[in-house]
Structure 1
Amino acid sequence: MLKDQFQAVPDSSQLQQIERDLRFYPTTNAHPQVLSQEQVEQFNRDGYIKDLTIFSPAEIASIRQQFDELLSRTLATGADSYSISSAHLKYGFCWDLLTNSRIVAIVKDLLGENVVAWGSHFFCKMPGDGKAVAWHQDASYWPLSPSRNVTAWLAIDDADIENGCMRFIAGSHQYGHMTFRDSNPAEHNVLNQTIENPWQYGHEVIDSLAAGQISIHSDLLLHGSEANNSSRRRCGLTLRYAAAEVRAALDWNQKGVIVSGSDPSGHWANRPRPTRDLPE
């Protein structure tokens, strides 16, 4: 997988040495504050919720402008468009997005009162870049346990079939952790794992989103995306959240920001907002 600029992402052999509980834990919430009861039930059944509007057109245009400048400066260093990872540890505007109260309120309805935010990674497919994201489970890459983690995928640009939006396999999170193989170079995979024949686990859902919308999915949900063969960019920001009870190995707890409630154990670092918004 891509190198995280704060902490190298562990390889499969490292993760195999860590005892992890990779079972799906359904949400139990009789009185959600933002989501409807039907949406909570859908998350438990299908592993995702989509089409949640967070930012107005004007707000997402401002966010996009900040990302455009960040991307320009990143590319100027010779890095690629997928390399902006753990962005909340370096750039204030990314920390603001990760801790945004509108997103956190939705996550709380799924994970409970005590929530830690720990990840922020831009997946930016440039026009015609030819790279796909193979079918995978996020939990395969993370030294976290138990599996009470979700990703909020924020559309910086409109994301649709033409420019390589995400796809889910509804209900696949119910099967727990799955066997994967290493991807081969011919797949042009942004990541390095591939799960074969995903359709045996459920039906495919197209996660098309308008800029400013989010979808939320379980870390055990099978998902991926085709290459962007269009003339338009497709950028999404993955925002990662965990229930505060989740334990992180390999110092990943140092990425954490307490965004709701508290962390009674003190396991997670509570990272402050970076003072700068862009690379110097």
Structure 2
Amino acid sequence: MASDKEFKAVPDGDALATMERDLRFHKIRNDDPTVLSEDQIERFNREGYLRPFRVFGENEISEIRSYFDELLQKYLAEGKDSYSISTAHLKHGRVYDILKKPEIVALVKDLLGDDVVGWGSHFFCKMPHDGKSVAWHQDASYWPLSPSKAVTVWLAIDDADAGNANMRFIAGSHHYGHMTFRPSGSHEQNVLNQTIDHPEQYGTPVDDPLLAGECSIHSDLLLHGSEANESDRRRCALTLRYAAADVRAGMDWNEKGVIVSGSDPSGHWKNPPRPDAE
């Protein structure tokens, strides 16, 4: 189902499969966090995620939702689907601004350090009764990044709960390193293209319910997924991807990286400017 190379498991032949990567969890060490507490950092180290954080007020998220509604209609009119708005910060100035929002970046900095890049932005919009699930997977399996010092911020555009298929985590599963996955069959109606079977061997699933304007943060190695939305309500989120600036990106993905905090002394990340288009 994925149309953007951000979500192909082995894009460009076997380039990702043959890329040498450090896919170990790197424990967060921060003796002077700015926003998070020491207990929260320890919880992230232990469980691989943190939630919830209020980053937009009701009026702000309502405006963002209206903006997304208009954006979605444009994409649908072009024959695309509700999962097609990917790498959006390179195309849409307003998404670029959300990627750099200080309240979000402050949370990420406490986990990744002062020098941070934001390189990914993808709307995951589950329409009512669309029948598509997101199979259990690790983000790191899709990303040509090394070492594994990256997180996803999952920003709720709509309220997300068990009724409309909120995201679910396997707490602590990031400690198992990179897991074996299989290609998903077309009959599985998976939004992505990988499936990790028998997730219960790594722990117990926990729900990630969020109100619109709240976000959660999880490690790129944490096992997660969501069921199909069988409700009458839409469930839309914007995923924002961040990495420490000393992470190396293969396959030209460094061209996506925007410096959101500190600097990139190596000059590895391209740091593209804000796009004019809204």
TM-score bin, normalised by smaller chain: over 0.9
- RMSD of Structure 2 on Structure 1 (CA): 1.2
Task: Tell me how far 1:10 sits from its aligned partner.
Answer: 5.5
The residue aligned with 1:2 is 2
Task: Tell me how far 1:8 sits from its aligned partner.
Answer: 7.8
Q: Is residue 201 of structure 2 the alignment partner of residue 200 of structure 1?
A: yes
CA distance in 1, matches of 2:24, 2:7: 25
Name whichever of 119-128 and 198-207 sits farther off: 198-207
Question: Match of 1:231, as an amino acid?
Answer: D
CA distance in 2, matches of 1:115, 1:231: 38
The residue aligned with 2:231 is 230
Structure 1 residue matching 2:162: 3-state secondary structure: coil
* 1:1-280 → structure 2 map (5 Å cutoff): 2-4=2-4, 9=8, 11=10, 13-277=14-278
Q: Percent identity?
A: 66
Task: Tell me how far 1:9 sits from its aligned partner.
Answer: 4.0
Q: Is the 8 A contact 2:136 2:225 kept in 1?
A: yes
CA distance in 2, matches of 1:10, 1:203: 25
Structure 2 residue matching 1:162: 3-state secondary structure: helix
Task: Tell me how far 1:203 sits from its aligned partner.
Answer: 1.7
Q: Is the 8 A contact 2:9 2:193 kept in 1?
A: no
Over 3 Å counting, the alpha-carbon distance change for 1:102 and 1:92 in structure 2 is: same
CA distance in 2, matches of 1:149, 1:212: 22
Paired residues in the alignment total: 276
Task: Tell me how far 1:204 sits from its aligned partner.
Answer: 1.2
CA distance in 2, matches of 1:168, 1:46: 9
CA distance in 1, matches of 2:250, 2:120: 14
CA distance in 2, matches of 1:59, 1:39: 26
Structure 1 residue matching 2:163: 3-state secondary structure: coil
Structure 2 residue matching 1:151: 3-state secondary structure: strand
Question: Match of 1:16, as an amino acid?
Answer: A
- Residues 74-129 of structure 1, C-alpha deviation per residue, up to 9 Å, x if partnerless? 10111000000000000001001111110000000000000000000000000100
Task: Tell me how far 1:186 sits from its aligned partner.
Answer: 1.7
Name segments (4+ residues, structure 1) moved above 3 Å. 7-10
After TM superposition, the score normalised by the length of structure 2 is 0.97
Task: Tell me how far 1:32 sits from its aligned partner.
Answer: 0.8
Q: Is the 8 A contact 2:72 2:82 kept in 1?
A: yes
CA distance in 2, matches of 1:236, 1:41: 26
- Residues 31-82 of structure 1, C-alpha deviation per residue, up to 9 Å, x if partnerless? 1100111111110000000111100001100110100000011101110000
Structure 2: gaps of 5 or more residues: none
